[in-house]
């Protein structure tokens, strides 16, 4: 499958991996939008949030738990951080394999752009 994140997960394309287990891989975003910008990606290829099945509920929960733990490890948990999932082009999704952005290390404004 011609999917960038599947290739990062398989190791065909290098990335700065900070955590991985049998369900998820987390790595530095190549174009960081904050001092800390990580991507948490499930090993399972799911193109967009619109493709989520009920059977994926635990996986999404696990991604959030991973983000929580990584935020703690990165020392951004107390100050605050943001989790973002973009769905489809209109929301800015450019890689069609779902992922959570974990952003922190600076003050965040609202609403997002
Ligand atoms: P999206 O726009 O789909 O929500 O997020 C995709 C993210 O993947 C972007 O923040 C972009 O910087 C990041 N990205 C794109 N190509 C690569 C790559 O080759 N390596 C890494 N580590 N991140 C990438
Ligand atoms: Zn994929």
Give the domain CATH number at 83.
Answer: 3.30.428.10
DSSP state for residue 73 in the 8-state scheme: H
Is 109 within the bounds of a domain? no
Determine the pLDDT at residue 64.
98
Is 36 within the bounds of a domain? yes
Task: Tell me how far the alpha carbon of residue 75 lies from the centroid of ligand 2, in angstroms.
Answer: 29
Q: Which residues of the chain have pLDDT under 70?
A: none
Instruction: Ligand 1, residue 85: give the atom nearest the CA.
Output: 4
Structural domain boundaries enclosing 60: 4-104
Determine the pLDDT at residue 113.
83
Determine the pLDDT at residue 1.
76
Is 113 within the bounds of a domain? no
Helix (H) or strand (E) holding 102: strand 100-104
Determine the pLDDT at residue 27.
98
Write the DSSP assignment of 4-48 as a string of letters: HHHHHHHTSS---EEEE-SSEEEEE-SS-SSSEEEEEEESS---S
Among candidate residues 37, 99, 101, 107, the one labeled active-site is 99
Is 53 within the bounds of a domain? yes
Q: Alpha-carbon distance 108 to 24, whole Å?
A: 26
Note the maximum CA span of the chain. 39
Domain count, the chain: 1
Tell whether omega for the bond before 111 is within 30 degrees of 0, i.e. cis.
yes
Active site residue 101: no
Is 91 within the bounds of a domain? yes
Is 43 within the bounds of a domain? yes
For ion ligand 2, residues whose CB falls within 5 Å? 3, 5-6, 45, 97
Is 94 within the bounds of a domain? yes
Is 64 within the bounds of a domain? yes
């Amino acid at each position: 499958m011609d999917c960038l994140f599947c290739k990062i997960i398989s190791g065909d394309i290098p990335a700065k991996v900070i955590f991985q287990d049998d369900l998820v891989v987390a790595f530095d975003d190549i174009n960081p939008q904050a001092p800390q910008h990580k991507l948490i990606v499930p090993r399972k290829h799911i193109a967009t949030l619109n493709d989520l099945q009920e059977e994926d509920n635990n996986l999404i929960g696990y991604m959030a738990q991973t983000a929580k733990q990584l935020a703690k490890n990165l020392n951004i948990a107390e100050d605050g951080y943001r989790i973002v999932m973009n769905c489809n082009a209109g929301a800015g999704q450019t890689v069609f394999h779902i992922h959570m952005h974990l952003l922190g290390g600076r003050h965040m404004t609202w609403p997002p752009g």
